[in-house]
Structure 1
Amino acid sequence: MLLALVALPGMALAQQADPKQWQLNMGKGVTQTARMAYEAHMVVLWVCVVIGVIVFGAMGYAMFKFRKSKGAVAAQFSHNTTAELIWTIVPVIILVVMAWPATAKLIAMYDTRDSEMTIKVTGYQWMWKYEYLGQGVEFTSRLDRGSDQMRQSGQVPTAASNPHYLLDVDHPLVLPVDTKIRFVITADDVIHSWWVPALGWKQDAIPGLINEAWTNIEQPGVYRGQCAELCGKDHGFMPIVVRALPKAEFQQWLAARKPAAPVPPAPAEGSPAPDITPEQAAPAATSASARSDATQAAPAPQA
């Protein structure tokens, strides 16, 4: 047990974006938001460690030094104004010191200004709909067919045969890296919650309301999450998969998903001629007049 406590700080610093077995700390994530949350968490963790060492160290020293077997006699008093002032003022100072950077980070986490693109996320029982606003691209994302067949088969999935059981989808959300992306999140039926731990935030999807969030993914990769709200009997079968691509690859993917521009139909035979505006007809009339003048001015051919 003592070795585990000694190794805890090192193991905490070693955690990365994806959760691992026996993980003892939150992941660092792959976004600025996740990094801010991780840094705030680590500051509070070390403050708690220092307070714990001081308090439990003082308790252990007092119990050992002033034990009854050594003839120690307890002091007979009920209040100590100095001690009460110390253990009231010191915690207040600690809380204020921690609250200042935490508040600044929290404000930054909700600042969606200067976003380069916007994704609309809509929760349904039990799938997600993604719309790339202004791009004409939208699709739904639901539990992968293989995971769905496995859960209904009665078999026991294993990490070797089903490494991402219940965490795969048919159409992942594809995003570019190094791009500030704004999310507008809502729901169509009941309350859902869009949550990908590696991105460092979670936002409720509420029918009739629009919530906002943003992300800026720093590393290409595949990041998984789930609906974090009890949205019905199939709540556990509503995963989220985000696929982060370099900007050039993302633009190619987006161009391939955009609908083709409609081609205007050719006029049918016998249909009336299209209307021509005076501006369109003027050049033709001027050209015909010039040809007529040239014909009149030409000398007649000699016999």
Structure 2
Amino acid sequence: MKQWIAGLAAMATPVLAMAQSADPQRWQLNMGRGVTHLSNNAYEAHMLALWICVAIGLAVFIGMGVAIVKFRKSKGAVADTGFTHNTRLEILWTVIPVILLVIMAIPATSKLVAMYDTRDSELTVKVTGYQWMWGYEYLGQDVQFVSRMDRRSDEIRQSGVRPDAATDPYYLLDVDNPLVLPIDTKIRFVITADDVIHSWWVPALGWKQDAVPGIVNEAWADISTPGIYRGQCAELCGKDHAFMPIVVQAVEKEEFQRWLTSRQSGEDAPAPVAAAAAVPASPAG
């Protein structure tokens, strides 16, 4: 009952969720904006399609309601059994959907093309999926490392003890080595896998890309806001699929350069503290 009440409350207030945080939240009903150019493109295309569908739904259900009330049998209405065809109506309900599809297709196509335009990137990061961890390499920078689920989450998981949300808010969502990236920088990702198919997915970045052995897929992002953005493997890849989270730590350019320099010098530098942290995503099941 409490979940139903919470769900109804969520539906009553942030139906369009115009100012959501970057990562999914409990009872979130709408797509989030994210923190990149591509995520905003996806959000805008989604909202355009949503409003068109809302308008169509209203027109259809209002028409149905009027017909049901005004032409009901109790008022003496009799069905017109001779009505078989109306050319004007046929043209109308064929032309209108075509126009609506074109209206939605033009911006969707341009935004889809932009998703694969990795030209003029300032930094390239190679992402490699393993069972069950992620490998990151900053190409041309002589920096690479492996990112696994943090030890605390792993200890709780294997102990069988139910985690406390107050003391372990990022249970199954944190890693030992986050992927540190600069903001306001076009970053190219080359994504592959070493063993089976994985899928690298951080909702705040606005895209999901499969990591396939023997194939290199591309994507890009330009993060606008410092923070911690969490994601997970989105392709069933084995028994520990739910235990290979992703953490992206976006920092200012100067801070990123200092961290990168320290890693290049061989220091085991910890990730810099992000200026803002996003709400954690729900763990994969």
Superposition TM-score tier, normalisation by shorter sequence = 0.7 to 0.9
CA–CA separation in structure 1 for the residues paired with 2:18 and 2:182: 28
Identity of aligned residues (%): 70
Aligned mate of 1:51, from 56, 60, 81: 56
- After superposition, what is the alpha-carbon deviation per residue over 1:187-220, rounded to whole angstroms, capped at 9, x for unaligned? 0000000000001010000000000000000000
Asked whether 1:71 is paired with 2:64, we answer: no
Specify the alignment match of 1:89 in structure 2.
95
8 Å Cα contact 2:149-2:176 kept in structure 1? yes
8 Å Cα contact 1:143-1:239 kept in structure 2? yes
Q: CA deviation at 1:229?
A: 0.2
CA–CA separation in structure 2 for the residues paired with 1:51 and 1:11: 17
- After superposition, what is the alpha-carbon deviation per residue over 1:103-123, rounded to whole angstroms, capped at 9, x for unaligned? 001111110000001000000
CA–CA separation in structure 2 for the residues paired with 1:10 and 1:66: 34
Flag structure 2 segments of 5+ consecutive residues without an equivalent: 267-285
CA–CA separation in structure 2 for the residues paired with 1:6 and 1:259: 52
Specify the alignment match of 2:31 in structure 1.
26
Change (3 A) 1:53 1:9: farther
CA–CA separation in structure 1 for the residues paired with 2:149 and 2:109: 37
Letter in 2 for 1:218: S
Q: CA deviation at 1:259?
A: 3.6
CA–CA separation in structure 1 for the residues paired with 2:79 and 2:103: 36
Aligned mate of 1:146, from 147, 152, 155: 152
Kindly tell me the number of residue pairs found equivalent between the two proteins: 259
8 Å Cα contact 1:136-1:259 kept in structure 2? no
Letter in 2 for 1:21: R
Specify the alignment match of 1:162 in structure 2.
168
Q: CA deviation at 1:97?
A: 1.0
CA–CA separation in structure 1 for the residues paired with 2:163 and 2:44: 36
Letter in 2 for 1:131: E
8 Å Cα contact 2:127-2:192 kept in structure 1? yes
Specify the alignment match of 2:47 in structure 1.
42
8 Å Cα contact 1:220-1:246 kept in structure 2? yes
Aligned mate of 1:179, from 173, 178, 185: 185
Structure 1 vs Structure 2 CA RMSD: 1.7
- Which structure has more relative contact order (CA 8 Å, sep 6+)? It is 2
8 Å Cα contact 1:150-1:157 kept in structure 2? yes
CA–CA separation in structure 1 for the residues paired with 2:19 and 2:149: 31
- After superposition, what is the alpha-carbon deviation per residue over 1:147-202, rounded to whole angstroms, capped at 9, x for unaligned? 00111111111321210111100000000000000000000000000000001010
Would you tell me which structure has more helix in proportion to its own residues? 1
CA–CA separation in structure 2 for the residues paired with 1:58 and 1:16: 38
Aligned mate of 2:141, from 124, 128, 135: 135
Specify the alignment match of 2:230 in structure 1.
224
8 Å Cα contact 2:10-2:28 kept in structure 1? no
- After superposition, what is the alpha-carbon deviation per residue over 1:9-59, rounded to whole angstroms, capped at 9, x for unaligned? 654223231222221111110000110000100000100000000000000
Based on CA coordinates, which of the two structures has the bigger radius of gyration? 1
TM (norm. structure 1) is 0.82
CA–CA separation in structure 1 for the residues paired with 2:211 and 2:13: 36
Specify the alignment match of 1:111 in structure 2.
117
Correspondences of 1:187-198 after superposition (within 5 Å): 187-198=193-204
Change (3 A) 1:80 1:4: farther
Three-state SS of the structure 2 residue aligned to 1:163 is coil
TM (norm. structure 2) is 0.87
Q: CA deviation at 1:8?
A: 6.0
CA–CA separation in structure 2 for the residues paired with 1:181 and 1:215: 5
CA–CA separation in structure 2 for the residues paired with 1:26 and 1:196: 13
Letter in 1 for 2:211: A
